[in-house]
Amino acid sequence: MKNTIFQCVTAIICVVAISVTGMLGLNKIADAKIEAAKIAAESAGNVSTDAPSTDAPSTDAPSDVPSDVPSDVPADTPADTPADAPTDAPATDAPADAPSTDAPADKPATDNGPKAPATAAEITAYYNNAINKVVSSKAGFKKSRTTVMHNLDGGALLKIQLVVDMVNDFLGVGTDSWDNQKGKQDNLSKASLAAGDVKQASCANNNGIYTITMTLKDGNSSANASGNSDNSPLQRAGVFAGKGDKKAYDYKNSENIHTAINGVDDCTAESALEKVTNTKITAVIDSKTGKLQSLTASWDWYVELANVKYTIVGIKSAKGNATTTVKLTNVQW
């Protein structure tokens, strides 16, 4: 009888343990303990009441009373996870150092317009486009040209005031100004410079306004009755230039001078030779539109004439050197 009571007490303890475990949400472990309790209860019901136990009851807790999870239940048996149970799954939020998807990482902080030209080829091409846009669109502008004569050696010819006046007028000694009206194209030529025409070329970007600075290579031109030649890059720089006798030209090469002298009554020159040096050009251009805002070009030149004659006075050579500066401003599109 005592053994039966002992078994019942054991079963009751197991049921209590199962209830407490169920309250903790460990459903599968609780199921295992319930099964153990059932087995214990069945065993208790099958014990014979006729055979009394000869052992004295111990006052200590029975050794077979489970004080922990039954040994036949694996410790790593997965249990149904409660909804509010914490998990070790990684957070789905983007890490703090994840790159922003709002804009490319290499986007500049400020927009200064397109990438500025850097090489000599890029700079000369960009410059040509800006000059040619003025010509093709017939934009208006103001232009001034100043020629300073440093030396003029004409011997007996320069004692004739008429000759001096003709030379100064044709070469443009002093300052001349033009107001080229919008819709009318004059006073500027198309540009076709190439990388091989420049000694140095740079482009500075100031908030989308490009300032192109170039130093052109030196050049020579020659003219006589047999023909003429010109290898100076200045003829391709966009300053007003052309063939024949036209005093409005900014750049007058040997052909222009030879034609002009031989076109004056009673005046002839056998040949002309000119050398152009120190040609510097500065152009300011809006990078967003490619439109020219201003242009400054300056160069030194030296001319030598052979066998010049006026009426009955003749000299074997006449020489002179000067500096010309051309400025174009107030461009109106």
How high is the mean pLDDT in each 10-residue block of the chain (333 residues)? Answer: 44 41 43 48 43 44 44 44 45 45 41 80 98 97 98 93 90 95 92 98 97 98 97 98 95 97 95 98 97 98 96 95 98 95
Answer yes or no: are the C-beta atoms of 171 and 260 closer than 8 Å: no
Residues 155 and 69 both lie in one domain: no
Amino acid letter, 151:
N
Picking from 226, 225, 210, 222, the residue whose alpha carbon sits closest to that of residue 291 is 210
In this structure, the answer to whether residues 135 and 200 fall within a common structural domain is yes
Whether the CA torsion 171, 321, 282, 222 is positive or negative: it is: positive
Would 114 be classed as within a structural domain? no
Say how far apart CA 250 and CA 93 lie, in whole Å.
70
Residues β-bridged to residue 273: 222, 304
Per the domain annotation, does 100 fall within a domain? no
Residues 7 and 57 in one domain: yes
Give me Rg for the CA atoms of the chain: 52
Indicate whether 63 and 135 sit together in one domain.
no
Strands 209-216 and 219-224: unpaired
Residues 128 and 66 placed together within one structural domain of the fold: no
Q: What's the structural domain count of the chain?
A: 2
Which residues lie closer than 8 Å to 112 by C-beta, 6 or more apart?
Answer: 205, 207, 208, 287
Please tell me the predicted confidence (pLDDT) of residue 22.
43
Q: Do 319 and 288 form a contact (C-beta atoms < 8 A)? A: no
Burial class (CB in 10 A: 0-12, 13-18, 19+), 321: middle
Number of neighbouring beta carbons within 10 Å of residue 331: 22
**Helix (H), strand (E) at residue 82:** none
- Residue at 45 is within a domain: yes
Distance CA 277, CA 219 (A): 7
Q: Would you say residue 106 lies in a domain?
A: no
Same domain (yes/no): 64, 205: no
184 and 318 inside one domain: yes
Residues 223 and 272 in one domain: yes
- Note down the domain range covering 143: 120-332
Compute the Cα dihedral for 164, 170, 175, 176 and give only its sign.
Answer: positive
Q: Is the dihedral of CA 297, 302, 305, 309 positive or negative?
A: positive
Q: Can you tell me the distance from the alpha carbon of 230 to that of 256, in angstroms, rounded to the nearest whole number?
A: 11
Decide if 314 contacts 266 (C-beta within 8 A). Answer: no
Residue 66 sits in the same domain as residue 213: no
pLDDT at 253: 98
Domain stop point among 87, 108, 130: 87
Whether 21 maps to a domain, the answer reads yes
Choose the final residue of a domain: 35, 68, 87. Answer: 87
